[in-house]
Chain A
Amino acid sequence: MAGTKVVIVDDSPFSIAFIKGILVRNGLEVVGEAGTLEEVKQVIQETKPQLVTMDMTLPGTDGLECTRAIHEIDRNIKVIVISSMMDDEIVKEAKENKVSAYVQKPIDEEELMTAVNRVMSSEELFRFLSSEYIKIFKEALLDGTNKLTKSLIQYKDEHVCRQEFQSEGLAVIVGIIGKFSGRMLIDVKMETAYKLTASIMKREATGIDEVLAVLGEFTNIVSGNACSIINRMNKAYGLRVAPPTIMHGESVHITAPGYTTTNILADSDFGEILLNIGFQRGDDQWM
């Protein structure tokens, strides 16, 4: 939390000084102040803060319009509203405008810092997850394949996936739920699925139903193991996996969800295996 860059938006010099005092005492870095919509846009662009405290009543504008303007510049900036007004209607509107927390004036130092800590720790958790999950899911796929088939896979390509892609034949989808939600998907040619099943079962597959069941369980194991590793790193993630849904057919297009996923391609003894995985940055932390 210390060193987090903050901009204070308020039209009262007293409030600015008061909020600044609290933030600085707690090790945050106040990089700018603004009191009008134009100032907000300018200061945000110049100082690139991670956090903004936002008054609701401002001359010629309001806190929600300013919040929208901030998120147009960078939607990852967290906004905490600090206002004397607080009722169900206004809090609902704030939520709809992607405000992360709401603190009422007169400001209680502890209450404000609890809000700041919660909002920013969520940010840090997401950053950590984003930097680690690819490695962890790759390891889980490698380990799962190795334990079940006694063979190794070789990763050969990895890229951010922002567009839809066509399934090779069989796609197994697992929804991930927790602090951040997302999905994991394994996509293979039908032929690969049959070979993988034969290797796991140590005999030829009895038919498509068995292949689907084995691939479903295989994907479930990989996603479950990976999520357990992440949960062990920090139990705040609390990741759980939904049961797999299996789709197969000709020309199945898998669309990009509204967040970034990564496509990881591996060579195995059974053919190529595509692993697609991504998490959505939620705006869950609300007080």
Chain B
Amino acid sequence: MDVKYINPFIEAFLSVMPQLGFEKVEKTNLSLKDCNLTYTGVIMTVGIVGEIKGNVVYYLDLESAKKVASTMMMGMPVDDFNEMAQSAISELANMLTANAATFFSNIGITVDISTPTLLYGDQVSVKMNSNQILCIQLLADDIPIDINIAFS
């Protein structure tokens, strides 16, 4: 996969997270994975169509998701991953992907995005639409967030 498909997601993360109240955002790792991911925690998938087609899957563990939701809600305590917290995390996936779409359009690639679907559970296997998945690992105030990208 072309590296130019990764940058819009990193740029989106670096620009959106500070707006949501995160002070320190950084990219820690970039790796190429083969098809199967297994996650325990919160997973969001967003579809992408247009000049390129695929999916982006975001992942946070449950505690991290609660922390992120809390920061997004101005520090309101989040004890359970309830509807309000789910909605915040869903909106995060939406904002990150929508911003990435804007960064794509800046480099001349037009894409549209679907609404996010949020799931959570234990040992969830995730199969994306490509055998090669690019995984970007990022930190927002030391909270790890994975962004997996697969374009077919």
Measured CB to CB, the residues of A under 8 A from B are 164, 167, 171, 173-178, 181-183, 185, 212, 216, 240-259, 280
Contacts and interface: CB of A to CB of B under 8 A. Distances in A.
A196 B124 CA distance: 21
B96 to A, nearest CB: 15
Nearest to B48: A242
Interface of B: 38, 43, 45-49, 53-55, 57, 83, 86-87, 90-91, 112-129, 150, 152
B128 to A, nearest CB: 6
Nearest to B121: A252
Contacts of B124: 247-249, 252
Contacts of B43: 247
Contacts of A185: 117
Q: Is the interface of B mostly helix, strand, loop or mixed?
A: strand
Given A177-B113, A182-B114, A243 B90 contact: no
A135 B129 CA distance: 28
Contacts of B152: 243
Contacts of A245: 45, 47, 55, 57, 117, 126-129
A78 B121 CA distance: 39
A280 B113 CA distance: 12
Given A240-B49, A243-B129, A255 B115 contact: no
A257 B115 contact: yes
B127 A212 contact: yes
B45 to A, nearest CB: 4
Task: From A164, A182, A249, name the one whose CB has the most chain B CB atoms within 10 angstroms.
Answer: A249
In the complex, the 6 A-B pairs of residues with the closest C-beta atoms, listed nearest first: A175-B47, A242-B47, A175-B114, A243-B129, A252-B121, A249-B124
Contacts of B118: 254-255, 257
Nearest to A246: B127
Contacts of A164: 86
B122 A176 contact: no
Given A176-B114, A249-B122, A259-B115, 6 more contacts: A175-B55, A240-B49, A241-B49, A242-B47, A245-B128, A280-B115
5 contacts: A171-B119, A181-B114, A242-B48, A252-B120, A256-B86
Contacts of A243: 47, 53-55, 128-129, 150, 152
A98 to B, nearest CB: 15
A11 to B, nearest CB: 35
